Structure formats: C-alpha cells, structure tokens
Amino acid sequence: MNVNEVLANRALEILRRPKGDYATLHPNDHINLSQSTNDVYPAALHLAVLGALADLHPPAMRLAASFFRLGRRYARLVKAGRTHLVDAVPVTLGGELRAYGSALRASLRNLKRAGDGLRELGLGGTGTGTGLNAPPGFGPAVCRELSRLSGTRLRPSRDLQMAMQSRRAAGDISAALRGFALELGRIVNDLRLLASGPETGIGEIRLPAVQAGSSFMPGKVNPSILEMVNMVCFRVIGNDQAAAWSVGAGQLEVNVMLPVLAESLLESAELLAAACEKMRAKCVDGIAADAKRCRDGARRSPAAATALVPKIGYTAAAALAGRAAAAGQDVFSQARAEKLLTEKDLRAAERSLLPR
C-alpha cells in the first residue's frame, strides 16, 4: 500500500498536481486497480531474481573460461591422480582444471533451467487467484508490457490460484543456487588442497599472494580468496534453508513469507556473482603449476603398477608396488631392476598411463 501511495504522488507530480490530490489520482482506486499485493509481490520477486541471475551469469562464465584456459595451458602436464586422497593413476593438471570449468558451466545450465519457472507470473489473479476486479485479458496484457520493458520473456500463469498459493519456482531456483554453491565450494576445496604446502603439502599449484598470510610467521601465504569463497558458499547453503522453509510455509491462498524468501534468493545470487568475479581476478587467473612436483609425483606413485596388471596380474603388481616403496624406487624402475618384463612391455605400460 505504501508503494501505491508513492506511485500515486509521483504521478501527480508528473501531472503537475499537488501531492495528496487523490481525487485526481487515488492509490487504490487508480494505481492499485485490478491488482493485489498477493499477485504483484510474487511477480516483483520473480523479476528481481531473474535480474540477479542475469548478473550472476557473466562472472560465473568468466570464471569457467579461466579454468578452460588453464586446462589448455597444462593439457600435457602429467601428475598423480587421487581418489580417497590416496595416489591413483595419473591425470593431467590441465584435465583436472578443465573439469572445474565444465562443472561450473553445468551448474549454470541447471540455474537457467530452474529460472524458467520464474518467467510465469500470476498477475491478474488479484487477491485469491480468482481474478476479481481485473478485466478480461489483464494478466496477459501486463505480462506483454513487462516483457517489453524488462527485455525478459514472461508469460501468464495457466492457473492463477496455484500462482497465489505456490512458491515452487522460487524454491527451485534456491535449490539450483545451492547446487551452484556446493559445486563451487568443492572446486575451492580442491584448489586449497592442490596448493597446500608449499613444502609439506601437495604443492602442485601456486596461488597468487594477495596479502601477508600471518602477522606472526613471516613469508606465510594463505589462500584467503578461496577461504572467502568458501564462506560465501556456506551462506548460500544457509539461505537455501531459509528459502525452503519459506516456500513450504504457504497457507491456503497466500504465502506470507515472501520478504525473507526474496532476501535469501537475492543475497545468494549477488554473493555468488561477487565471489566468482573476485575468485577469477584475484586467484584463478594467477594460478601457476609446479611442473617438476607434478611429474615427480606421477612417476613415484605406486598406483602406476596398475598399468602392469594386464601383463603380470593384480597380485604380482601389488607386491611390486610394495617392494618399490620399500626400496624408495618408482614402480617401473623396480620392475626393470627385477627384470619382470621386457623393455618393450615396460615402455608400452608407461605410455598406457598417459591420460587420453
């Protein structure tokens, strides 16, 4: 109702009439004609969230593109793979980083699919979805005009009573934002692991330093940008909980929890957009590989014995890996020392480990 008064008085200013001249232009009889808070507020929520999603897309795509560039740069740099945080057969650093870009793009596609439900508006349903006091065709006409003004394709709901009752579309987008945050947080955690060290961790990549890491330990550099992104992801996951409870709190013809629902969705989209941009500019674009550490790790990994299984069998390969570890040798050097296979077979096994 306060918005109606603001709009009425602004219109009176444009008409060069005094504010409060409601005989000329009334907040309810004119501004609010054929509409109710119950159909307008959800429509405003949908339009605002669609705008926030549009703002999220470019920085998220730029972040994905940065991972694809790193993927191309390090496409031939072989390193140890890891499953269960334990050495596994080799991968390339480029493939690992490229996959992060693919994951972000897949999450964006999911956001786009979920966002389609927000394009459906219940305008013209007025108070309870019956359309009382709205002329025929009012909802479709308003959707067409809003589409023109916003540059976003909008459509009227096929069931206006459902549009009053249900906030399912908002719940879907909240879940998709949570999914994006979960994927982004997983990537961030991987980068922190890969950069851990520099001497006592994995240390296969180096992150750009953005600030002194410690007021006590000189020279220490912490992954502060990635830690910031982690915290954003936690907040988005929390916002999804608030949004989910709000979506489920509708009663009969209206859901009165829209303010907290709107705040949760808008904050999540805005935080993720800012986090993606800072993560790209302050961290990912400056990532560099420690090529020697990557190659040495792949060479020393006992998981390389997997390539010998077709020739000597699983049990013998496992025993060889154990003997190589005890001798401080890589698997292939140990196999050569023991003359287990011909040089031709060993070279073929080594080549088979290279990621395709």
Residue 24 and residue 15 in contact, taking contact as beta carbons nearer than 8 Å? yes
- The radius of gyration of the chain's CA atoms, rounded to the nearest angstrom, is 29
For 53-67, b/e burial (b = at least 16 CB within 10 A) is beebbebbbbbbebb
Give the tokens for residue 199.
């001497």
Q: Count CA atoms closer than 13 A to 54's CA, side-chain side.
A: 12
The active-site residue, picked from 157, 214, 301, 333, is 214
Query: For residue 83, which phi and psi values (nearest 5 degrees)?
Result: -130, 140
Look up 36 and say whether it is catalytic. no
How many whole angstroms separate alpha carbon 151 and alpha carbon 16? 31
How many whole angstroms separate alpha carbon 167 and alpha carbon 250? 8
68 φ/ψ sector (left φ>0, alpha ψ -120 to 50, else beta) = alpha
Residue 104 and residue 63 in contact, taking contact as beta carbons nearer than 8 Å? yes
Give the tokens for residue 350.
């080594």
Largest CA distance in the chain: 102
Element (H, E) at 29: none
Alpha helices in the chain (DSSP H): 2-14, 37-73, 93-115, 138-150, 160-165, 168-194, 224-247, 258-282, 291-300, 309-312, 314-327, 331-338, 343-353
Catalytic residue positions?
214
